[in-house]
Amino acid sequence: MQLAQTAAIVTGAASGLGAATAAALAAQGAEVFGLDLPGSIEDAPSVDGVTYVGTDVTDPEQVAAAVATAAEGAPLRTVVSCAGIGPSARILGKKGPHDLALYAKVVQINLVGTFNVLTLAAEQIAQTEPLEHGARGVVINTASIAAYDGQVGQAAYASSKGGVVGLTLPAARDLAQHGIRVCTIAPGIVETPMLATVSDEFRAGLAAGVPFPQRLARPEEYAQLALAIIDHDYLNGEVIRMDGALRMAPR
C-alpha cells in the first residue's frame, strides 16, 4: 500500500516509537496526525507533514474527533498505535498488594486505548474507496515481548500487552470484510525516553542480554518495521517480535 497522498494516525506521537513512526510516515508522503496528550505535545519535535492533535486515547469522544479530523482530507489508510505506559509494581510488594487503580490504569491506556483507536479509526477507513483486491488500509498496534516474558513487577504491563497480542487475530478477522489489515509489533528493549534516565552502565547491561545484535533497538527500527508491514499487503493478523532474539529473564 502506498502512503503518498493518504492520511495516517500515530498515537503516542510526541516521543519515542510514535515520534519516529510519525516522521517516517511523513517522509513517505503521508499526511500524519500525531495523537498525544496536550502536555506531551508541547515538547514534541516539529516535523514537516506531522500535525499534532491533543488526544487522550482512552476517551472515545476525543479519539472520534481526532479521527474525524484526520479523515477530512486525504483518505485515512494507516493507523499506528504507540501510546502506552509501563509502571512497575509487584503483586505483593514492600508496601502491600498491587494497587488495583494502577493496574486498571495500565490496562485502560495500553489495551482499552488501543482498542478505542482501532475501532473508531477502522470505522473511517472502511468508508474509503477500495484499492486493489479491496484493500482499504492497515492498523498496526504495539505490544511488547513482556506479553510473553513478563518480568518481576510487570504484572499490569504484561497483562495489557498480552491483551494487545490477543486482540490481533480477531481484529484482523473482524475487519477483513472491510479490507483492513491488522498487525502488531512486539518490541524488545528500545532506546526510548524512558531509558534516558538510567546510567550508561545499566543500558550496557541490558544490551548484553540481547543475543544479536547485542545492543538496544532504536525507535527508527520500529518505524522501519511499521513501513514494511504497511507495504506488504499479505501480512495480516500477525504479531512480529522485534527483539534481537531476546527472551527476558525473570528479573
Catalytic residue set: 157
**SS3 annotation, the chain:** CCCCCCEEEEECCCCHHHHHHHHHHHHCCCEEEEEECHHHHCCCCCCCCEEEEECCCCCHHHHHHHHHHHCCCCCEEEEEECCCCCCCECCEECCEECCHHHHHHHHHHHHHHHHHHHHHHHHHHCCCCCCHHHCCEEEEEECCCHHHHCCCCEHHHHHHHHHHHHHHHHHHHHHHHHCEEEEEEEECCECCHHHCCCCHHHHHHHHHCCCCCCCCECHHHHHHHHHHHHHCCCCCCCEEEECCCCCCCCC
